[in-house]
Chains A and B, each alone.
Chain A
C-alpha cells in the first residue's frame, strides 16, 4: 500500500507559486488522479518517484520508506522500484523496442531478462516491433513498449502519467482494457493520472479529484462525476453526466433505443447495438431542462421525476444535483433557481431529448 503525504511549495518561498498539499493512500487496484492540467497531478507522481522532493511529508510503499522530511530519509529514485510511464513515452531513441524493454529488465523467477522482455512484448501484442526504433513505431505501439519497459524492471508500484493522451481514440479503448488486465495480473498498485472520463471510469476503482494541488473529492469515479460535492469539483469533472446501462430494446422506426440504467429507463437516439450490451452514456448538464410540473406534450423523449439534492451557486450560474433513481448534474441560471424555488428536497421534473444523450463507450 502506498501512503503519501506531500507538501510542496513551488516558486517563491513566500507563497507566490503553486502549492501541493495532499495525503492519500493507494491500495491494490488502480487509483486515478483526476484533474485539469496544472492541477498538480504530475508533481504528485514526481514526488512519489523521487524526481522532486516534497518540502514536508512522508511517502512509503509497504515497508519501504521513500521519503520522510522528519527523519531526513530520502531513498534515491533508482532504489524505489517504481515503474513510470511518461505522457510522451520517453523511449530511448537510440535503442530498439526490445532493447528499451531489456534496459531495465530484472531477471524474474529464473527466466533470463531477454526471455522476459520478449514475453512482455508478446503480452502487449507488439513482438513484431522488437527490432524497430521508437521513431518507427505508431503512437499506440510506443505506449505499449513504454508499458512493457516499465513492467520489465519488476516494479513494486506503477505510476502512469496520462499514458494515453497521445494515442487515437480506437487505440485508446484497446489500451485501457490492456492496462486493466495488466494491473489485475501484476497485483501491484497503479496510480493513474488522467483528465479523460472514459479512462477514469473504466480503470479507476477509486478516484481522487485534484484541484490547485489539493484533493477536493475522492470516491468511485462514477459517483464523483455524477454527484460532485462542491463547485470546484463540478468544474474539474466537467459538465458531463455519465451513466452506465444496458441496451434494452430498439425502436428503429421511431429512431429510439431504450436503455436500462438499473433504477430508471431512458431513451437515446437509435444506435443498433445488440440488446443486453453494456454501454456508457453521457449528457451535458446544460442539456437538461427542469420543470416544476410534469409536462406531457413535449418533444423531449425523457421526462423523469426527481428530487433536488444539492444546489451549488457560482457567480453566474448554479450547479444542481438532482436524484431521479440516478444522480443528474443540472446546470441552470441563478434566475431559474429563484423563480423555480430550487432547493434541496424540492421535487422537479428533468427533461432531455434522446439526441442529447451520446454514447461514450
Chain B
C-alpha cells in the first residue's frame, strides 16, 4: 500500500508539475502581458479552484468530464473511454486545483519585470516570443520556480477533487493522501504513520526550497 501509493503519487505529481509549469507560465503570460476581452474573467475562472472546496471543484470536473459530462459524453461516444476513475483523472484533478498557485506566482513575477527590458529587446529586432523566452522568463525565473514548487506541493497533497473525479482505487487512483485516509479509516496505524511521515518529509523539503529561492541573492 505504501510503495504503491507513493509510486502513483510521484507519477501523478510529476506529470501534473510539468503540465502546470508549461500551462501556468503560458496563462501567466497571457494575463500579465496581453490585453484581451475577458482577461479578468479568465483569471477569476482559473483562480476559482483556490477558493472553492476541492470537493466542489471535483464535482464540477465530473459534470465536465464524467461519462455523461459536457466533454465526457462526446469523448465516450467517440472513443469508448472515460477519464473518470483512471490515474489520468488524478492528474487532471490535481492540475486544476494546483494551477492557480502557479498562475498567481508567475503572473506577479512576470508583471514585476521592468517593461523597459522587454522594450530594449524588441528594439534590437527580437520578436515578442523570443523576448519572452530570453528576457522575461529569466528575469522572472524566481517567481516562476516558486510557483512551480508551490503547485507541486499542492498537487502532492491533493485529496478532495481527486477523490471525486478519480475515486479511491488502490494501484490505480489511490495516491498517498487517499491511502492515508483509508489506512486511518481501516485502523492501520503503522501504515498511516509511515505515509504521513513520508508526505511531511517531502513537503517540508519543498517549503524549505521555496524559501531559499524567494530569498534575494546577496549582492543584488
Residues on A lying within 8 angstroms of B by beta carbon are 49, 51, 76-84, 86, 90, 92-94, 103-104, 106, 135, 149-150, 153
Contact = CB atoms under 8 A, between A and B. Distances in A.
A52 to B, nearest CB: 11
B135 A77 contact: no
Interface residues of B, number: 18
Nearest to B220: A135
B119 interface: yes
Contact of A153 (B116, B117, B125): B125
Closest 4 CB pairs of A and B: A104-B124, A153-B124, A94-B138, A78-B122
B117 to A, nearest CB: 6
Contacts of A77: 119, 122-123
Contacts of B119: 49, 51, 77, 84
B121 interface: yes
Contacts of B134: 103
A221 B122 CA distance: 33
Given A49-B119, A79-B125, 17 more contacts: A77-B119, A77-B122, A77-B123, A78-B124, A78-B125, A78-B127, A81-B125, A82-B123, A83-B123, A90-B117, A92-B121, A94-B139, A103-B134, A104-B124, A104-B126, A135-B219, A135-B220
B123 A84 contact: yes
A103 B220 contact: no
A78 B120 contact: no
Looking at B120, B124, B127, B135, which has the most chain A CB atoms within 10 Å of its CB? B124
Contact of B123 (A49, A94, A106): A49
A84 B139 contact: no
Contacts of A80: 123
B116 A149 contact: no
A78 B117 contact: no
A90 B124 contact: no
Nearest to A152: B124
A321 B119 CA distance: 44
Contacts of B121: 92, 103-104
A78 B139 contact: no
B220 A78 contact: no
A51 B123 CA distance: 9
B130 to A, nearest CB: 9
A84 B125 contact: no
B94 to A, nearest CB: 32
B125 A92 contact: no
A133 B122 CA distance: 21
A106 B126 CA distance: 11
B57 to A, nearest CB: 37
A84 B122 CA distance: 11
A192 B135 CA distance: 27
Contacts of A135: 219-220
B8 to A, nearest CB: 38
Contact of B120 (A79, A86, A106): A86
Interface in B205-220: 219-220
A164 B183 CA distance: 70
A93 B116 CA distance: 12
Contacts of B124: 78, 103-104, 149-150, 153
A348 B99 CA distance: 80
B156 to A, nearest CB: 30
Given A94-B138, A135-B220, A106 B125 contact: yes
Nearest to A146: B120
A104 B135 CA distance: 12
24 contacts: A49-B123, A77-B119, A77-B122, A77-B123, A78-B122, A78-B123, A78-B125, A78-B126, A78-B127, A80-B123, A81-B125, A82-B123, A83-B123, A84-B119, A90-B120, A92-B120, A94-B139, A103-B121, A103-B124, A104-B126, A106-B125, A135-B219, A149-B124, A153-B125
